[in-house]
Amino acid sequence: MKKLEEYVRSIPDFPQEGIIFRDVTSVLEDADGLHLAVDTMQGLVSDLEYDVVVGAESRGFIFGAPIAYNMHKPFALIRKKGKLPCETVSREYELEYGTAEIEIHKSSIQPGQRVLIVDDLIATGGTTKAMIELVESLGGQVAGVVVLIELAGLKGRDRISGYRLDAAISYPGK
């Protein structure tokens, strides 16, 4: 069987020269790659106790939902502002060029629940930090964060220091 890294397609000079884009669609498009990714991420957090899994739109859904399903845990959605129909809380965060806002239903996390945050990637940590803030604003406790890919050169781990972060693959650059 191939190693997980072998399923990730690396595209040089995208979106700009000098950047190597790590494409997770190549993982998703291969049944063995997807299976290995979910199993690896789930295995990284097998020692954690958590009550709820949350994932951010959209790739956090792809990896978080199967982990929640396998562990028989509820799965809560974090979406772009304006996409959830019930009462929400939201957090704005910085992007490379501007800002974005994400939200979660107020009913998704109960005070005291331990939450596992799942996403495809951590780069600068802005989205991850906003997800942590959403969980905590509802009284949840972040048990940990697990991602498929960490772009370690962008220092997202530093931005969420104090929280456990597990990455299935860590690339040293950007």
Q: What is the pLDDT of residues 20-42, one digit of tens each?
A: 899 999 999 999 999 999 999 99
Is residue 101 flagged as an active site residue? no
Whether the Cβ atoms of residue 144 and residue 117 lie closer than 8 Å to each other = yes
Q: Give the type of residue at 167.
A: A
Whether the Cβ atoms of residue 157 and residue 165 lie closer than 8 Å to each other = yes
pLDDT digits (tens, 9 = 90+) for 89-117: 999 998 767 899 999 999 999 999 999 99
Share of the chain above pLDDT 70, in %: 99
Higher-pLDDT residue of 64 and 19 is 64
The C-alpha angle 10, 12, 18, rounded to 5 degrees, equals 130
Spatial separation of the C-alpha atoms in residues 138 and 52, rounded to whole Å? 13
Point out which residues pair with 93 in neighbouring strands: 100
Spatial separation of the C-alpha atoms in residues 35 and 48, rounded to whole Å? 21
**What is the pTM for the complete model shown?**
0.96
Spatial separation of the C-alpha atoms in residues 36 and 163, rounded to whole Å? 25
3-state secondary structure of 111: coil
pLDDT digits (tens, 9 = 90+) for 117-146: 999 999 999 999 999 999 999 999 999 999
Q: Token pair for residue 17?
A: 């020269």
Task: Count Cβ atoms within 10 A of the Cβ of residue 60 and give its class: 0-12 exposed, 13-18 middle, 19 or more buried.
Answer: buried
Strands 141-151 and 114-122: parallel
Is residue 96 flagged as an active site residue? yes
Spatial separation of the C-alpha atoms in residues 77 and 62, rounded to whole Å? 11
> Looking at 59, 79, 91, 157, which residue is catalytic?
59
> Looking at 17, 49, 87, 96, which residue is catalytic?
96
